[in-house]
């Protein structure tokens, strides 16, 4: 089971701004046109899949290319507060940010800034908020400069092809779907201070229990599979006495996450049944994973089994299974959480070690730095690559720097739940 840091929806609360949110965040206008002003039917843009997050290249006020995450759990365009200051953007007022883990931090509104995406001629949208999100970069293993969400998505029908690592932008007024997928109705929270996330009806079946229907956020900004919110967990007495679980560790936009990792027997979205997915049973007392109005979040380990068509204009998402749909959730786990440090994110420090896991049994400790894997310098890898390697049930010879001491050991990831 992969238990790397999650990146759930960010909730933004306005706190004593110089101007109110209603006057600060103005209606957005966009265009998708060629120089001849004719609409382009489809535009294809490559993306990088970094620790299961979709990264797009973005420019803000003609800046150098920046790395923004495409996130259905966000509404407005957000830039890292540090990056906004580096670019000299005009900041005004105060914004408080929360998320999974419930901690609050403070950012600002952005004035007179917009972003463009190379490959989309004539397109521009405002950057609305600057928030202290840059600290998430160490858990992703690369620069993390911002987020784009619902206000971008709703201008198109956004097709996400995880296997080809492409998004395709369709003209929302001309798009017609024909294929083996199913159209699932969604509700989009765009009112008030809503995050702009889409939610849908789905059905989860606990191990040894009866199916339970609920409303779930579709959250491509989460690298996990299924996260069940703490009120839902409590109300239905989950995960149940027969389910083996392990401690969840990870972090979201609002701080550390608490809960247990286990499985459910099935998750059903429309006609599609996902067998035995891993699930995080939240124990958070506040924050995104303690939301009583929702049963949970559906993350990228599930959404990546589909080609998705985000059609907000028609209040639907089309789910089309890809060739990975039938693959089981049988990933191994090392039982550790890594963060990438340094200007090139090639220093890999152990953040947490799970008790009774391959990492703890091998003798790894929080604070260890992985310097070599099977005789190769760790600097030859990325954090994404290392996480992927540690999801395979293969033994690795690791060299660690522990203070002044050099330690060698063998790590043998295995399936934990």
Boundary (domain end) residue, out of 257, 275, 301: 301
Q: What digits encode the pLDDT tens for the residues 26-69?
A: 433 344 433 333 446 799 999 999 999 999 999 999 999 999 99
Q: Determine the 3-state secondary structure of 359 from DSSP.
A: helix
Same domain, 266 and 374: no
Distance CA 231, CA 120 (A): 42
Q: State the virtual CA torsion across 191, 194, 199, 204 in degrees, nearest 10.
A: -140
The answer as to whether 183 is a domain residue is: no
Q: Report the CATH number that the domain containing residue 388 is assigned in CATH.
A: 2.30.42.10
Same domain, 155 and 258: no
Q: Determine the 3-state secondary structure of 237 from DSSP.
A: coil
Six-digit token pair at 158? 């956004």
The answer as to whether 208 is a domain residue is: yes
Same domain, 79 and 132: yes
Same domain, 98 and 140: yes
Q: What digits encode the pLDDT tens for the residues 238-275?
A: 998 889 999 987 655 555 778 999 999 999 999 999 99
The answer as to whether 92 is a domain residue is: yes
- The count of structural domains within the chain is 3
Same domain, 201 and 152: no
Same domain, 289 and 344: no
Same domain, 164 and 205: no
The answer as to whether 188 is a domain residue is: no
The answer as to whether 16 is a domain residue is: yes
- Range(s) of the domain holding residue 205: 197-301
pTM of the full structure: 0.88
Same domain, 215 and 132: no
The answer as to whether 278 is a domain residue is: yes
Q: What digits encode the pLDDT tens for the residues 325-379?
A: 999 999 999 999 999 999 999 999 999 999 999 999 999 999 999 999 999 999 9
E strands, 179-294, are 182-185, 187-188, 198-205, 212-218, 226-228, 246-247, 251-252, 255-256, 259-263, 266-269, 272-275, 278-282
Same domain, 249 and 375: no
Q: Report the CATH number that the domain containing residue 278 is assigned in CATH.
A: 2.40.70.10
């Amino acid at each position: 089971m992969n238990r790397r840091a999650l990146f759930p929806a960010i909730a933004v609360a306005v706190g004593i701004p110089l101007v109110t949110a209603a006057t600060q965040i103005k209606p957005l206008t966009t265009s998708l046109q060629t120089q001849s002003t004719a609409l382009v039917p489809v535009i294809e843009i490559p993306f990088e899949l970094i620790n299961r997050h979709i990264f797009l290249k973005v420019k803000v006020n003609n800046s150098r290319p920046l790395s923004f995450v495409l996130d259905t759990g966000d509404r407005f365009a957000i830039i890292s507060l540090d990056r906004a200051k580096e670019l000299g953007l005009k900041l005004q007022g105060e914004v408080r940010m929360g998320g999974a883990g419930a901690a609050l931090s403070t950012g600002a509104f952005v004035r007179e800034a917009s972003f463009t995406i190379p490959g989309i001629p004539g397109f521009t949208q405002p950057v609305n908020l600057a928030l202290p999100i840059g600290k998430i970069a160490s858990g992703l293993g690369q620069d993390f400069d911002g987020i784009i969400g619902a206000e971008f998505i709703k201008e198109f029908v956004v097709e996400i092809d995880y296997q080809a690592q492409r998004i395709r932008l369709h003209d929302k007024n001309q798009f017609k779907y024909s294929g083996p997928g199913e159209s699932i109705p969604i509700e989009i929270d765009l009112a008030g201070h809503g995050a702009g996330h889409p939610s849908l009806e789905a059905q989860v079946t606990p191990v040894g229990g009866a199916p339970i229907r609920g409303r779930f956020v579709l959250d491509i900004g989460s690298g996990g599979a299924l996260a069940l919110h703490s009120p839902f967990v409590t109300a239905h007495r989950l995960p149940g006495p027969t389910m083996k679980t392990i401690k969840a560790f990870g972090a979201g936009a609002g701080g550390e996450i608490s809960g247990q990792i286990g499985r459910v027997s099935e998750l059903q979205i429309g006609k599609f049944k996902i067998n035995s997915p891993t699930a995080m049973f939240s124990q958070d007392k506040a924050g995104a994973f303690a939301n009583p109005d929702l049963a949970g979040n559906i993350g990228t380990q599930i959404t990546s089994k589909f080609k998705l068509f985000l059609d907000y204009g028609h209040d639907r998402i089309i789910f089309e299974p890809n060739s990975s749909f039938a693959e089981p959730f049988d990933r191994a786990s090392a039982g550790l959480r890594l963060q990438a440090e340094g200007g090139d994110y090639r220093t890999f420090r152990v953040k947490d070690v799970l008790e009774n896991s391959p990492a703890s049994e091998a003798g790894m400790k929080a604070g260890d730095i992985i310097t070599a894997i099977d005789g190769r310098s760790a600097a030859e890898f990325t954090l994404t690559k290392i996480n992927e390697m540690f999801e395979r049930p293969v033994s690795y010879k690791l060299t660690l720097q522990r203070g002044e001491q050099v330690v060698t050991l063998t790590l043998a990831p295995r399936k934990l739940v």
